[in-house]
Structure formats: structure tokens, C-alpha cells
């Protein structure tokens, strides 16, 4: 855990989603958008999953939520098991709250069942895959008919019409490596990447979902290991100006990124889209997979020089000491633009397009909170979880 006393250490922290206070204060007047980056679904009413028909997840539905992978077998299996349990105990599954959590009597039975399944699995990899698949399946079932598939906001808050797509320079492909707990979260910002740039330029890869990870690593193998980079928040990084060296111990100067002269080759950049506490495990898994594929833990990470300072131009500025996946991508594109060899690809405009998308998301979340009578201010508290 990073010390809270070190302001510099906070600047490169990536959150998969916008800041979520565990408590909010109700103020008579909102103080502005900059503190409004909050969870928007803490007291949603229970909702029943629309699985009374055959309830299958189709490939079309799966990919409608953002993935480009085939329907994952283990996710499908969890859905099948949930439906079977529903028939056996004659209790309909229902969901509520954040993240497609099961509710009611069904939840009690399902808890017993999934714990037994988990315990019976032999190795930790299988346990992990089951955990990931169950997270994804529950979120997916719990969000059916409730969230917009494209923007992951409640249907009444859909922001899709306000998002302006933009073409990302073909020399870059982003991979949004997302923790299952961030899948279908309304305040997740990783989703903006493919909403703005399209799924071929910014591709979702779900952590622990074999079909997604295989697809990503197939692309990496095709590109070659020298063209795969991970934008990882280095907790030891300090805020430096662009003129300063980037040479952190374990990360690389952006200027060292290879210039793609071959049109078939692309810089593959992984954005880790998980909470700070989850991101270390995610990075570790990437390195392990690099080792099994390439024979060495070769996965260079790159750091941003500007960190939080890149956020200053955001309108509205999110809380100063946090950044999020979309902001990390914005900062990266902005920094690359400053390097001569990357300066002629319009990366600054592409950063602006993504920034516009982030503003649209912030406004949608804020409007929702105001409509629901919740505060959009955040008590200046819990410094302990800033880093
Ligand atoms: Zn939408």
C-alpha cells in the first residue's frame, strides 16, 4: 500500500472507475462537478433477471456489452447453473445494488452452492477462473434490461447519443485489461476507450476470462513482444515535468517506444483497469502469461511523466489526486504527441475526443445523482484510501 503522506506517489494511481466515497454528505447546494465522481447505484431496487425464457446468453448479447471474444464457456456454465438452481428451488433469482449482486432467498441457496463448487476446484487457477466467470455472469444477468449495453449506464441515463466516436491512429491499439468487478460498472471509465475509438482500436480483455486473454495474447504474439507495453502506475514514480527523465527503475521512457514503420505492426498498449489493490495481481498475471508464452517475464511498463497534471485541463477536473483509466489514456496520448516521432498523427485530437467522452460520463453520473436526490459533493475525508 502506498503511503498516504506521499503526494507524489499518488499521482499515477489508476482507478478503474471514478472516485467512490463510501459515505457522502448531503449538502444543500452542490459545489460542482469536480467532486461528483461517485457511485450511482447504491440503492437501486431489486430487479429480476429476464431468464424466464430460455435465458441463454447469445454471442450477440455477449459482444453487445463490449467484449470481442467468443462467449466464454465458463460464464455460460455459471448462467446454466444459476438457471438450474432456479428451477430446482423454485425461487427466481433477483438482483440489486451495485454490481449485479444476488438478492433474497435465491442468494442464500446460491451462496451455499457456489462456495461448494469453489471449494471443490482443485487448483488456484481453476478457482480464480470460476470466481471471474461467476462475477461476470452475475453482473451480466443483473444488468439485463437495466443497463444500456453500450455505455453501461442505467437505461434512463444512457449517454450514447452524446459520445462522439473518433478514429485512433492505427499505430496504436489499446487493451483495456479489466477486473471482473469493474465489468458493467456505471462509473467505470475504461469502457469509454472502445466507445470512442471502437473495439478494434481499444479492446476489452477481462481478467481471468480465458477466451478474452487468449485473444489478447494471440494479438501480442502476432505483433511481437517488442510491440507490447503495459501502462502501469508505478507507485514510486514522482511527478516530473516533460523535460525530466522518465527513467524509473522498472518503467520506460515513452521516447523509447518503437516507431511503427510497418503498417501491419501496431503498438499494443495494455491499460490495467482495476482498483489499485487489484492492479498488482493483474500485472503479475500479465507477466506470468508473458513468461509462459515468450519464455521470460518480458513485459515492459511505461510510466507517464505528467500523471495528475494531465488532469488539470479536464473539464471538470476530477479530484486532483486520482486518475482513472480513461484519464491515463488521455495523458499517454498527450505525452506521445509531444514526442517528435509521434507528433504527426493527431494524437492530441484523439486525446481530446476521449476527454470529451469522459466529461459526458461525468455529467451523466452527476445528473443521475442529482435526480435521485443524492449529493454530488464529497466529504474531504478518508485520505487513507486515496492511494
Ligand atoms: Zn447508452
Give the pLDDT confidence of 276-298 residue by residue, as tens digits. 788 889 999 999 999 988 887 77
Residue 194 Cα to ligand 1 midpoint, Å, equals: 13
Does residue 173 sit within a domain? Answer: yes
pLDDT for 322 beyond 60: no
* Of 232 and 367, more confident: 367
* 149 within some domain: no
**Claim to verify: residue 282 and residue 133 sit in the same structural domain:** no
User: How many A from CA of 159 to the centre of ligand 1?
Assistant: 5
pTM for the full predicted model: 0.79
Packing angle between helix 73-89 and helix 210-223, nearest 10 degrees? Answer: 170
Pairwise CA distance, residues 106 & 108, whole Å: 5
Contact yes or no for 102/138 (Cβ under 8 A) = yes
**What's the 157 CA to ligand 1 centre distance in angstroms?**
7
Higher pLDDT, 235 or 5: 235
In terms of domains, do 60 and 183 share one?
no
What pLDDT does 323 receive? 66
238 has a pLDDT exceeding 80:
no
Distance (Å) from CA 238 to ligand 1 centroid: 37
Q: How far is the CA of 147 from the centre of ligand 1 (A)?
A: 8
Average pLDDT, the chain: 76
Both 65 and 180 in one domain: the answer is no
Distance 307 CA to ligand 1 centre (A): 29
The per-residue pLDDT for 383 is 36
Of 143, 167, 198, the domain-final residue = 143
State in Å: Cα 158 to ligand 1 middle: 4
* Structural domain containing residue 111: 47-143
Q: Is 347 exposed, middle or buried (0-12, 13-18, 19+ CB in 10 A)?
A: buried
CB 311, CB 295: distance < 8 Å: no
Helix (H, G, I), strand (E, B) or coil at 214: helix
pLDDT above 60: residue 143: yes
pLDDT score, position 341: 86
Instruction: Indicate if the pLDDT at residue 135 is higher than 70.
Output: yes
pLDDT per position as a tens digit, 164-176: 999 999 999 999 9
Give the distance from CA 136 to its chain's centroid: 13
Within 53-192, strands assigned E span: 94-96, 101-103, 172-178
Whether residues 109 and 27 share a domain: the answer is: no
Q: What is the mean pLDDT of residues 35-41?
A: 39
Same domain, 27 and 123: no
- pLDDT value for 333: 93
Domain count, the chain: 2
Claim to verify: residue 197 and residue 167 sit in the same structural domain: yes
Say if residue 173 is in the same domain as residue 312: yes
* Residue 101 covered by a domain: yes
Q: Is position 151 within any domain? A: no
At residue 33 the predicted structure's pLDDT band, cuts being 50, 70 and 90, is very low
The reply to whether 99 and 244 lie within a common domain is no
In a domain, 378, yes or no: no
Cβ(274)–Cβ(260) below 8 Å:
no
Which one of 143, 177, 199 terminates a domain?
Answer: 143
What is the CA(193)–ligand 1 centre distance, in A? 14
CA of 291 to the centre of ligand 1 (A): 39
pLDDT for the residue numbered 306: 59
Q: How far is the CA of 57 from the centre of ligand 1 (A)?
A: 20
Same domain, 15 and 51: no
Q: Are residues 176 and 315 in the same domain?
A: yes
Provide DSSP, 36-73: ------TTPPPEE-S-SS--PPPHHHHHHTS--SPPPH
Tell me the β-bridge partners of 268: 173, 228
Lowest-pLDDT range, 218-222, 348-352, 377-381?
A: 377-381
What is the Å distance from ligand 1's center to 161 Cα?
Answer: 7
Do 313 and 359 sit in the same domain of this protein?
yes
Q: Give the Å distance between the CA of 149 and the centre of ligand 1.
A: 6
Interval between CA 359 and ligand 1 midpoint (Å): 15
Residues 6+ apart with CB under 8 A from 162: 360, 364
Q: Are strands 172-178 and 202-206 parallel, antiparallel or unpaired?
A: parallel
Q: Point out the least confidently predicted range of 83-92, 281-290, 360-369.
A: 83-92
What are the angstrom distances between the C-alpha of 305 and each of 234, 238, 242, 302, 337? 11, 8, 6, 10, 13
Task: Answer with the residue of higher pLDDT: 94 or 192.
Answer: 192
Residues 231 and 279 in one domain: yes
Whether 197 has a pLDDT exceeding 70, the answer reads: yes
Amino acid at each position: 500500500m502506498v503511503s498516504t503522506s506521499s503526494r507524489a506517489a499518488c499521482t499515477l494511481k489508476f482507478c478503474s472507475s471514478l472516485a467512490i466515497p463510501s459515505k457522502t454528505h448531503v449538502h444543500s447546494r452542490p459545489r460542482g462537478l469536480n467532486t461528483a465522481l461517485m457511485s450511482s447505484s447504491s440503492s437501486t431496487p431489486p430487479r429480476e433477471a429476464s431468464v424466464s425464457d430460455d435465458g441463454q446468453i447469445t454471442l450477440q448479447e455477449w459482444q453487445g456489452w463490449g467484449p470481442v471474444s467468443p462467449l466464454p464457456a465458463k460464464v455460460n456454465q455459471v448462467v446454466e447453473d444459476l438457471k438450474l438452481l432456479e428451477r430446482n428451488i423454485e425461487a427466481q433469482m433477483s438482483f440489486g445494488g451495485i454490481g449485479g449482486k444476488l438478492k433474497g432467498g435465491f442468494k442464500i441457496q446460491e451462496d451455499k452452492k457456489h462456495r461448494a463448487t469453489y471449494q471443490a476446484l482443485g487448483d488456484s487457477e481453476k478457482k480464480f477462473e470460476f470466481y471471474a466467470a461467476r462475477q461476470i455472469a452475475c453482473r451480466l444477468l443483473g444488468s439485463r434490461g437495466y443497463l444500456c449495453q453500450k455505455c453501461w449506464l442505467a437505461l434512463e441515463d444512457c449517454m450514447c447519443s452524446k459520445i462522439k466516436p473518433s478514429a485512433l491512429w492505427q499505430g496504436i491499439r489499446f487493451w483495456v485489461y479489466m477486473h471482473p468487478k469493474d465489468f458493467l460498472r456505471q462509473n467505470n471509465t475504461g469502457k469509454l476507450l472502445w466507445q470512442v475509438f471502437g473495439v478494434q482500436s481499444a479492446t476489452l480483455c477481462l481478467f481471468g476470462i480465458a477466451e478474452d486473454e487468449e485473444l489478447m495474447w494471440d494479438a501480442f504474439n502476432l505483433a511481437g513482444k517488442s510491440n507490447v507495453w503495459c501502462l502501469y502506475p508505478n507507485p514510486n514514480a514522482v511527478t516530473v515535468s516533460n523535460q525530466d527523465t522518465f527513467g524509473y527503475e522498472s518503467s520506460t521512457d515513452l521516447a523509447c517506444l518503437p516507431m511503427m514503420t510497418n503498417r501491419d505492426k501496431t503498438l499494443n498498449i495494455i491499460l490495467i483497469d482495476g482498483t489499485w489493490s487489484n492492479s498488482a495481481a493483474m500485472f503479475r498475471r500479465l507477466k506470468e502469461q508473458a513468461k509462459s508464452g515468450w519464455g521470460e517475464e518480458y513485459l515492459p511498463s511505461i510510466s507517464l511523466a505528467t500523471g495528475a497534471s494531465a488532469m488539470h485541463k479536464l473539464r471538470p477536473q476530477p479530484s486532483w489526486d486520482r486518475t482513472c483509466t480513461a484519464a491515463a489514456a488521455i495523458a499517454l496520448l498527450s505525452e506521445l504527441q509531444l514526442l517528435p516521432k509521434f507528433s504527426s498523427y493527431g494524437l492530441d485530437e484523439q486525446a481530446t475526443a476521449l476527454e470529451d467522452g469522459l466529461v459526458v460520463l461525468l455529467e451523466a453520473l452527476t445528473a443521475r445523482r442529482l435526480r435521485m436526490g443524492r449529493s454530488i459533493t464529497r466529504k474531504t475525508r478518508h485520505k487513507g484510501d486515496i492511494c
